[in-house]
């Protein structure tokens, strides 16, 4: 699927991107859009004539910490950005996973890539997804037109919210050249409450109880015994983790409250801030499932149904988002995986593996999706086949 022989274009300006896309449209060629190239392996093979890399568009345009807004070119790396905002005591609220190691990739993930794939980390349950912090964009559509949408302020309803549409479109609608995101103050401190030895069902119930207590849980994950036994934890028992972030006095008060609310599930141990950060970094990166030859599924279901994924499908699981995000290592028949997940009200994406990656759409929704694709990219120039039919 990776055609290493394909020519790579690395434009330095948005106008050059316009030129490349327009030229491809005019000459009937196709483009594979990459940032750091870390997620190229996800999705159906893109057999494009030319690779269009955004690595040459990597400048931060404007960052005003007091406005909670940051504008950067799409090719800026997540690592550079995280360092920049951390220096101002701020964070990317959606805690984007890098996933390079999970996907066995060498490059550095970019902001544009994280937004294009709408990738969000454990804080998704509290702060929202990547798409919720995506305020505005400049992008080149498949028609070779440079467009602007959204704005550079935190609150805006002017015109259609194309940022949301582009988030999660995996480069099939437009090539992001410049993006504006909302940033937030970083938490002053954090702690994590750990429960040990719970079954998946008990853990799911514990995560629901924690999320339904007024304590602003900002991470809720469960590693069953098999996942916990793998590196980096190499533990003996299943571990269920609940994160609290904020000002010290508040975190302490909420931790007490939460520990009491969870007494029915056992006595919770607490991690200090450093260990808490380490713990959530490995959850975010799904480290337990690095370097495993089995197909890896990313499954999204209603959070309370998380444990039922593990019951319905054979394989090792890791639960994030309070049960709403399930990583599953499984050799199961892809059609069966999709059918069982769909029956639980969710959908499945194959992150590592050879079958078709994205959930196929049906009926009027599939038709509407195809019309939206055609509105932006009528000739199918951008990432052909990346999201399956679209």
Partner 1 sequence: MKMPLPDAALIARKAEIVRALQRLVPGEGVIGDPAGLVPFQSDGLSAYRQTPLAVVLPETVEQVSAVLAWCQANGVKVVPRGAGTSLSGGALPLTDGIVLGMAKFNRVLEIDYPNRCAVVQPGVTNLAITAAVEADGFYYAPDPSSQIACTIGGNVAENSGGVHCLKYGLTTNNLLGCEIVLMSGEVVRLGGKGLDAAGYDLLGVVTGSEGLLGVVTEVTVRLLTKPQTARAMLLGFPSVEAAGGAVGDIIAAGVIPAGMEMMDRPAIEAAEAFVHAGYPMDCEALLIVELDGPEAECAELSAHVADLARARGATTIRTSASEAERLTFWAGRKAAFPAVGRISPDYYCMDGTIPRRQLPYVLSAITQMGLEYGLGVANVFHAGDGNLHPLILYDADQPGQLEAAEAFGADILKLCVKVGGVLTGEHGVGVEKRDLMGEMFSETDLAAQQRVKCAFDPDLLLNPGKVFPRLHRCAELGRVHVHRGAVAFPDLPRF
CA distance 345 to 39: 26
CA distance 98 to 110: 9
The correct pick among 11, 219, 246, 334 for binding partner 1 (CB under 8 A) is 246
Give me the phi and psi of 21, to 5 degrees please: -70, -40
Residue 345 within binding range of partner 1, rule CB under 8 A: yes
Residue 380 within binding range of partner 1, rule CB under 8 A: no
The correct pick among 3, 10, 22, 353 for binding partner 1 (CB under 8 A) is 22
Specify the residue, 96 or 108, whose C-beta has the smaller distance to partner 1: 96
132-164 b/e (C-beta count within 10 Å ≥ 16 → b): bbbbbbbbbbbbbebeebbbeeeeeeeeebbbb
Q: Tell me the two tokens of residue 315.
A: 């394989």
CA distance 2 to 42: 11
CA distance 79 to 32: 23
Specify the residue, 229 or 304, whose C-beta has the smaller distance to partner 1: 304
Of the candidate spans 99-107, 108-116, 185-193, 234-242, the one that interacts with partner 1 by CB under 8 A turns out to be 185-193
Site size for partner 1 (CB under 8 A): 96
Which of 109, 159, 115 has the alpha carbon at shortest distance from 139?
A: 115
Residue 11 within binding range of partner 1, rule CB under 8 A: no
* Residue matched to tokens 């931790």: 255
Of the candidate spans 28-36, 210-218, 277-285, 309-317, the one that interacts with partner 1 by CB under 8 A turns out to be 210-218
Q: Phi/psi class of residue 88: alpha, beta or left (left: φ > 0; alpha: ψ in -120 to 50)? A: alpha
Residue ranges in 292-331 that form contacts with partner 1 under rule CB under 8 A: 300-305, 321, 324-325
Min separation Cβ 90 and partner 1, Å: 8
Burial class (CB in 10 A: 0-12, 13-18, 19+), 197: middle
The correct pick among 8, 13, 201, 212 for binding partner 1 (CB under 8 A) is 212
Residue ranges in 34-73 that form contacts with partner 1 under rule CB under 8 A: 64-69
Pairing of strands 50-53, 7-9: parallel
Residue 273 within binding range of partner 1, rule CB under 8 A: no
Specify the residue, 154 or 226, whose C-beta has the smaller distance to partner 1: 154
Residue 30 within binding range of partner 1, rule CB under 8 A: no
Residue ranges in 74-93 that form contacts with partner 1 under rule CB under 8 A: 89
Residue 259 within binding range of partner 1, rule CB under 8 A: no
Min separation Cβ 27 and partner 1, Å: 9
DSSP state of 77: B
The correct pick among 214, 234, 264, 274 for binding partner 1 (CB under 8 A) is 214
Residue ranges in 141-160 that form contacts with partner 1 under rule CB under 8 A: 141, 143-149, 151-160
The correct pick among 202, 358, 381, 382 for binding partner 1 (CB under 8 A) is 358
Give me the phi and psi of 54, to 5 degrees please: -95, 10
Give me the phi and psi of 143, to 5 degrees please: -80, -5
């Amino acid at each position: 699927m990776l055609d290493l022989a394909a020519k790579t274009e690395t434009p330095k300006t948005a106008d050059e991107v316009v030129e490349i896309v327009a030229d491809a449209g005019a000459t009937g060629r196709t483009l594979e859009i990459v940032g750091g190239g870390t997620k190229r392996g996800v999705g159906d093979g893109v057999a494009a004539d030319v690779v269009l890399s955004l690595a040459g568009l990597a400048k931060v345009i404007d960052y005003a910490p007091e406005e909670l807004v940051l504008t950067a070119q799409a090719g800026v790396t997540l690592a550079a950005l995280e360092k920049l905002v951390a220096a101002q005591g701020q964070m990317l609220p959606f805690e984007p996973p890098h996933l390079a190691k999970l996907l066995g990739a060498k490059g550095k993930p970019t902001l544009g890539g994280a937004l294009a794939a709408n990738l969000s980390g454990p804080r998704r349950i509290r702060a929202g997804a990547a798409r919720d912090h995506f305020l505005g964009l400049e992008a080149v559509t498949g028609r070779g037109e440079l467009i602007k949408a959204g704005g550079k302020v935190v609150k805006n309803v002017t015109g259609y919210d194309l940022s949301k549409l582009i988030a999660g479109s995996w480069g099939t609608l437009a090539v992001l050249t410049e993006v504006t995101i909302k940033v937030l103050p970083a938490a002053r401190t954090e702690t994590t409450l750990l429960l040990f030895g719970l079954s998946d069902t008990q853990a799911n119930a514990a995560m629901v109880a924690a999320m339904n207590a007024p304590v602003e849980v900002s991470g809720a994950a469960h590693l069953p015994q098999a996942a916990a036994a793998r590196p980096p934890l190499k533990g003996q028992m299943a571990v269920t983790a609940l994160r609290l972030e904020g000002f010290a006095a508040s975190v302490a008060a909420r931790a007490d409250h939460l520990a009491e609310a969870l007494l029915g599930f056992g006595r919770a141990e607490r991690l200090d801030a450093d260990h808490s950060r380490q713990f959530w970094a490995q959850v975010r990166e799904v480290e337990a499932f690095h370097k495993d030859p089995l197909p890896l599924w990313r499954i999204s279901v209603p959070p309370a149904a998380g444990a039922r994924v593990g019951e319905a499908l054979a394989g090792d699981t890791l639960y994030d988002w309070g049960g709403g995000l399930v990583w599953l290592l499984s050799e199961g028949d892809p059609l069966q995986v999709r059918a069982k997940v769909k029956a639980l009200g969710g959908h499945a994406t194959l992150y590592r593996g050879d079958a078709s990656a994205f959930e196929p759409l049906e009926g009027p929704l599939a038709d509407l999706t195809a019309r939206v694709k055609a509105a932006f990219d009528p000739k199918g120039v951008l990432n052909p086949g990346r999201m399956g039919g679209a």
